[in-house]
Amino acid sequence: MAEKLKKPTKTVKKNASEAPKKVAKESKFEDRLDLKKLLMYTIIVPRGQGDNVIRILRTNHSSAQFYQMGEGTASSKIREILDIEDTKKDIVYSIVSGEAVKEIKRELDAYFIASKRNRGIAYTIPLTALVGVKMYKFLTQTVRG
């Protein structure tokens, strides 16, 4: 019977330049940048005033605004006590940094005081968690091109 021939194995020596390179470990995003506090600013105003509120938010570096129409559910007795004529409302949601809140509040106060017609309710809710560095960079406007 024929004897099977074994194929010779090659021994390859690697040059130092071909050796796997060690990649420097990149530091975490939160270690390289001071994280800004983010808040959800919600403003409820009579129908038709949402665009004016959005204009105020945009001039104060709000990264995102969401607008929806709503309708109040208070009874006519409660509306009379609170001096609310119309139940149709604009609800504006915005993401703002903690640094911008005071300036936005000052401008919204001036807007609400400017006319008896300009009424509304505004409040903030802190955002304590976000998924993804890219989302955080977008909302804090720290995306670099």
pLDDT tens by residue, 101-126 = 899 999 988 888 887 777 888 899 99
Confidence of residue 65 (pLDDT cuts 50, 70, 90): confident
From the CB of residue 105, how many other CB atoms can be counted at a distance below 10 Å?
Answer: 14
Looking at the chain, the whole-number percentage of residues with pLDDT higher than 90 is 18
From the CB of residue 42, how many other CB atoms can be counted at a distance below 10 Å?
Answer: 15
What amino acid is encoded at 70 in this protein? G
pLDDT tens by residue, 78-99 = 888 887 778 899 999 998 888 8
Q: 35-139 has which CATH code? A: 3.30.70.120
